[in-house]
A and B are shown apart, each in its own frame.
Chain A
Amino acid sequence: MIHISKRPDFNRFTGEKKKYNRYAGMLIGVGIRLAALLLSLVVSGVVIYAITKLNPLKVYAEMVSGSFGTSRRVWVWLRDTALLLVIAVGLAPAFKMRFWNIGAEGQVLVGALATSACMIYMGSANIPTPLFLIIMAAASVLAGALWGIVPAVFKARWGTNETLFTLMMNYIAIQLTNFFIPMWEHPKGSNTVGIINAGTKAGWFPEIFGQQYLLNVLIVAVISVLMFFYLKRSKHGYEIAVVGQSENTARYAAMNVKKIIVRTTTLSGAICGLGGFLAVAGADHTVSTGTAGGRGFVAIIVAWLAKFNPIIMALISAMLVFLNKGAIAIASRFNLSNDVSDIIQGIILFFILGSEFFINYRVRITRGKEKEA
Chain B
Amino acid sequence: MEKAKVTTVQNEPAAEGREAPERKPAVELIGLTKYFRSIPVNDNIDMSIYKGEILSLLGENGSGKTTLMNMLSGIYFPDAGHIRVNGKPVVINSPKDALDLHIGMIHQHFKLVDVLTAAENVVLGLNESFRLNLRSVKREVEAICQRYGFEVDPDKKVYDMSVSEKQTLEIVKVLYRGADILILDEPTAVLTPQETKRLFEVMRNMKRDGKSIVIITHKLHEVMEISDRVAVLRKGKYVGDIETAKTSPQELTDMMVGRSVSLNIERPEPHDVRECLRVEHLSVTDADGVRKLDDVSFKAYGGEILGVAGISGSGQKELLEVVAGLQGAEPGSVVIYTDRDGRTSSLIGKTPMEIKKLGVHLAFVPEDRLGMGLVGDLDIADNMLIRTYTEGGGIFVNMKKPRKLAEEIVEEFEVVTPDMLTPVRKLSGGNVQKVLVGREISGEPSLLMSAYAVRGLDINTSYTIYRLMNEQKEKGTAVIYVGEDLDVLLELCDRILVLCGGRVSGIVEGRKTTKEEVGLMMTHVGAVRAE
Residues of A within 8 A of B (CB): 1, 3, 5, 8-9, 11-12, 14, 18, 21-22, 229, 233-236, 238-239, 241-242, 245-246, 248-249, 251-256, 368, 370-371, 373
Contacts and interface: CB of A to CB of B under 8 A. Distances in A.
A249 B35 contact: no
B89 interface: yes
Interface in B355-405: 355-356, 364, 366, 368, 370-378, 382, 385-387, 389-390, 395-397
B38 A12 contact: yes
Contacts of B371: 246, 248-249
Contact of B39 (A5, A14, A229, A236): A14
Interface in B389-439: 389-390, 395-397, 418-422, 426
Contacts of B39: 14
A252 B38 CA distance: 35
Nearest to A245: B375
What band does the interface of chain B fall in when counting residues whose beta carbon is under 8 Å from A?
A: 35 or more
A307 to B, nearest CB: 11
A235 B396 CA distance: 5
B326 A252 contact: yes
Contact of A370 (B91, B375, B378, B389): B91
Nearest to A372: B89
B352 A253 contact: yes
Given A18-B421, A246-B376, 18 more contacts: A8-B35, A8-B36, A8-B37, A9-B37, A11-B421, A14-B418, A18-B420, A233-B396, A235-B396, A238-B385, A245-B376, A246-B370, A248-B371, A249-B373, A252-B366, A252-B372, A253-B352, A370-B82
B90 A370 contact: yes
User: A3, A246, A249, A370: which has the most chain B beta carbons within 10 Å?
Assistant: A249
Given A234-B395, A235-B396, A253 B387 contact: yes
A3 B355 CA distance: 52
B324 interface: yes
Contacts of A21: 419
A11 B418 CA distance: 9
B89 A373 contact: yes
B117 interface: no
Contacts of B387: 253
Contact of A249 (B91, B325, B386, B395): B386
Nearest to B389: A238
B147 to A, nearest CB: 34
User: A21, A233, A254: which has the most chain B beta carbons within 10 Å?
Assistant: A254
Contacts of B36: 8
B77 interface: yes
Contacts of B382: 238, 241
B353 interface: yes
Interface in B328-373: 351-353, 355-356, 364, 366, 368, 370-373
Given A9-B426, A235-B397, A253-B352, A3 B77 contact: yes
A236 B395 contact: yes
A22 B77 CA distance: 27
Contacts of A5: 77
Contacts of B373: 249, 252
B375 A252 contact: no
Nearest to A14: B418
Contact of B38 (A14, A245, A249): A14
Contact of B375 (A1, A9, A229, A249): A249
B55 to A, nearest CB: 24
Contacts of B397: 233-235, 238
A251 B377 contact: no
Nearest to A230: B395
B93 to A, nearest CB: 7
15 contacts: A11-B419, A14-B37, A235-B395, A235-B396, A235-B397, A238-B397, A241-B375, A249-B371, A249-B373, A249-B374, A249-B386, A251-B326, A252-B324, A252-B372, A370-B91
Nearest to A246: B371
Contacts of B355: 254
Contacts of B370: 246
Minimum-distance CB pairs A-B, first 7:
A254-B352, A254-B353, A8-B37, A14-B418, A253-B386, A248-B372, A12-B38
B396 A242 contact: no
B93 A246 contact: no
B77 A242 contact: no
Contacts of B421: 11, 18, 22
B84 to A, nearest CB: 10
Nearest to A12: B38
Contacts of A229: 396
B372 to A, nearest CB: 4
A235 B326 contact: no
A246 B389 contact: no
B352 A1 contact: no
A5 B37 CA distance: 12
Nearest to A252: B372
A255 B373 CA distance: 13
Contacts of A236: 395
Contacts of B93: 1, 3
Contacts of B376: 245-246
Contacts of B422: 9, 11
B366 A14 contact: no
A139 B412 CA distance: 55
A346 to B, nearest CB: 32
Contacts of A12: 37-38
A15 to B, nearest CB: 8
A18 B420 CA distance: 9
A239 B395 CA distance: 12
Given A14-B37, A14-B418, A252-B352, A245 B378 contact: yes
A317 to B, nearest CB: 25
B410 to A, nearest CB: 14
Contacts of B386: 242, 249, 252-253
B396 A8 contact: no
A118 B386 CA distance: 44
A252 B382 CA distance: 15
Contacts of A242: 375, 378, 386
A368 B91 contact: yes
A27 B314 CA distance: 52
User: B36, B39, B366, B397: which has the most chain A beta carbons within 10 Å?
Assistant: B397
Contacts of A255: 353
Given A14-B37, A254-B351, A235 B389 contact: yes
Contacts of A1: 93
Nearest to B77: A3
A233 B381 CA distance: 13
Contacts of B375: 241-242, 245-246, 249
B421 to A, nearest CB: 7
A239 B382 CA distance: 11
A252 B395 CA distance: 21
Contacts of A254: 325, 351-353, 355-356
A21 B370 CA distance: 26
Contact of A248 (B38, B368, B420): B368
B419 A370 contact: no
A234 B93 CA distance: 46
A16 to B, nearest CB: 9
Contacts of B352: 251-254
Contact of B396 (A234, A239, A368, A371): A234
A234 to B, nearest CB: 5
A235 B324 CA distance: 22
A246 B382 CA distance: 15
A241 B378 contact: yes
Given A236-B395, A252-B364, A368-B91, A8 B38 contact: yes
A238 B421 CA distance: 16
Contacts of A245: 375-378
B372 A249 contact: yes
Contacts of A239: 389
A22 B421 CA distance: 10
Contacts of B38: 8, 12, 14
